[in-house]
Amino acid sequence: MLITLLACVSILYLLMPLVQKNMKKYIKDYCVGCGLCEALGKAKCCEDERGFLHPESGDEEWLSSVCPSGGRQQAAMDFGKIWGKTQAVYYGWSKDEAVRRVASSGGIITEIASWLLEHHSVDGVIHTCPDPDDETKTVSCISTTRDELIGRSGSRYSISHPLSVMGMLDKTKRYAFIGKPCDIAALNNYILIQPEVQNVIVVTLSFFCAGLPSRDAQDKLLSHLGCQKDKLKSLRYRGDGWPGFTTAVAMDGGVYRTDYPTSWGKILGRDIMKMCRFCLDGIGEAADISCGDAWYLTEDKKPDFSEGEGRNVVFARTEKGAELLQKVIQDCKIEVQPANMADIGCMQAYQRDRRASMIDKLIAAKVLGKSVPRWKWTSIIKYGSHISFRRHLSILKGTLKRIVNGKI
């Protein structure tokens, strides 16, 4: 008995460094770059060669509780639903034509954030805008007026660290937070260990996110557009229409543009952060409200990217989100229509498939001895039924190939 006990303790002791090493690796490999740890002095982060952040050193226990790759937010996810926790779902758009036009999709996020400011439900909105010194980069900002929100609306397909402002918030004020789903997951994980933060960040808004393009992808985009980076004055990825054109304006007034299927589909979307390939929540399940593109569908049920008037799919994820959405609807700020879940599956097939095939990606990474985020296998298996066995095999094969070729 004693010998067995001693043997077990020795084995555990020998395995301990391996477990710790592995823990460190998943934190580094699958950092989402939200900026929270550095803002709070919990870690020191460095950029890798593609421009993505990762913690170099820091409080590992804190990081494994807060970083999304630690898997903590899974406890609040509904694995029975491929589109996540849903209190209400609509198609919708801003009733202000200018907002609908300038925003990324239908301007719902900007309109809700603006409603919160105008009704003094919050003092400021934390979100993301272009870096004035380099439009291929972003900075985090706090908007306090509708005009600021509108001026900073639109999708930036570029690396962002929206939680980097967390260390400088006025704790006597209330804020709304707009961020990628992974930023919201990190914030929620932080609130679990620091509950008073929910008195400061009182509502979270997110958007569907297929991945964060690298710094190299920005260079490729500019070179495709034919605009020199040192001559770049402004860069719009989409919006000013729906989806709108990716448009670079040079300092001499030259305008260079390409369509959205080319900029996202052929350039930006091909070179994204590693964690994005293993992302379990690209649909903002962790936020109070999340929005995506409600693409119109062609006859064969494929998304139609031809120019149109912007339209969001809007999910209220929490009771708080549902109440807020109803107030904004009742105040006639946004127009909504009933949404069709089967059609959402066609509009957002990538999001559905990424969730449903997570099991294949984890198997591929494990087989090749790579670190993986700490997703609970039992939960992930539940998503698997949303795609066919053939599709599972093809994704498994594709992921193995990408890992072997160093693309993941």
Ligand X SMILES: Cc1cc2nc3c(=O)[nH]c(=O)nc-3n(C[C@H](O)[C@H](O)[C@H](O)COP(=O)(O)OP(=O)(O)OC[C@H]3O[C@@H](n4cnc5c(N)ncnc54)[C@H](O)[C@@H]3O)c2cc1C
The residue ranges that bind ligand X (CB under 6 A) are 103-110, 127-129, 138, 152-158, 160, 162, 178-180, 207-210, 212, 291-293, 312, 348, 351
Minimum distance from CB of 204 to ligand X (Å)?
A: 12
As a three-state string, the secondary structure of 268-283 is HHHCECHHHHCCCCCC
Query: Is residue 214 within 8 Å of 162, Cβ to Cβ?
Result: no
Q: Is-cis flag, bond preceding 243, omega within 30?
A: yes
- With residue 9 as reference, give the H or E element that holds it: helix 2-29
Looking at residue 300, its amino acid is D
Is the CB of 35 or the CB of 70 nearer to ligand X?
Answer: 35
Q: Find the helix packing angle between 358-367 and 349-356, rounded to 10°.
A: 50
Cα–Cα distance list, 239 to 161, 206, 262 (Å): 21, 17, 15
Minimum distance from CB of 160 to ligand X (Å)?
A: 3
Query: Which segments of 288-340 does DSSP mark as H helices, in order?
Result: 319-330
Is the CB of 153 or the CB of 371 nearer to ligand X?
Answer: 153
Torsion angle of C-alpha atoms 20, 25, 27, 29, degrees rounded to 10? -170
Minimum distance from CB of 6 to ligand X (Å)?
A: 52
**DSSP secondary structure code for residue 264 in this structure:** I
Contacts of 118 (CB under 8 A, 6+ apart): 146
Minimum distance from CB of 329 to ligand X (Å)?
A: 14
Minimum distance from CB of 282 to ligand X (Å)?
A: 6
Q: Find the helix packing angle between 108-118 and 319-330, rounded to 10°.
A: 80
Q: Which two tokens stand for residue 298?
A: 């062609």
Is the CB of 281 or the CB of 371 nearer to ligand X?
Answer: 281
Is the CB of 64 or the CB of 348 nearer to ligand X?
Answer: 348
Query: Is residue 154 within 8 Å of 104, Cβ to Cβ?
Result: yes
Minimum distance from CB of 166 to ligand X (Å)?
A: 14
Q: Find the helix packing angle between 349-356 and 389-404, rounded to 10°.
A: 80
Is the CB of 273 or the CB of 372 nearer to ligand X?
Answer: 273
Minimum distance from CB of 264 to ligand X (Å)?
A: 8
Is the CB of 73 or the CB of 160 nearer to ligand X?
Answer: 160
Distance CA 100, CA 304 (A): 18
Minimum distance from CB of 14 to ligand X (Å)?
A: 43
Is the CB of 138 or the CB of 371 nearer to ligand X?
Answer: 138
Is the CB of 64 or the CB of 312 nearer to ligand X?
Answer: 312
